[in-house]
Amino acid sequence: MGATCKEKAFSSVYRLGWDVPRCENALAATYKCFPKVMLFDGIGVKLQSLEGSILRRVILRGVDKGIVCLPIHDAIARKVSDAQWVKQAMKEEWEVEVGGVASARLTIKTLKSKQ
């Protein structure tokens, strides 16, 4: 995602056993799903910024509700009892941020406490 050109993007997956035809197919599939996406122009940084904006807004909404939300990369740590609220807030903020261009797939994972 952070590659500045197609060749650099492809070379990053050659070590995983991908060849040029497989890379071309992946690129074509990406453009088929997202025809307006501008790859190779810093999209990785833009997507990280988008992710950060969404998390920031969910955290601030949590503050207003008295819900503690701790950002962890592209997730939020929270109390088990707040899981559904956080999931709904994330979904709503994602939709606001991308304007219906894409949708988020959200899952709730809960760690079992050690006793």
Q: In sequence order, what are the residues at sequence separation of 6 or more whose Cβ sits closer than 8 angstroms to the Cβ of residue 96?
A: 57
- pLDDT, residue 74, reads 78
- pLDDT, residue 24, reads 94
Block means of pLDDT (10 residues each) for the chain, 115 residues, are 81 90 93 87 77 91 94 87 93 86 79 63
Measuring CA to CA, which residue among 47, 36, 35 is closest to residue 97?
47
- pLDDT, residue 32, reads 94
Q: How long a stretch of residues is the chain?
A: 115
- pLDDT, residue 114, reads 59
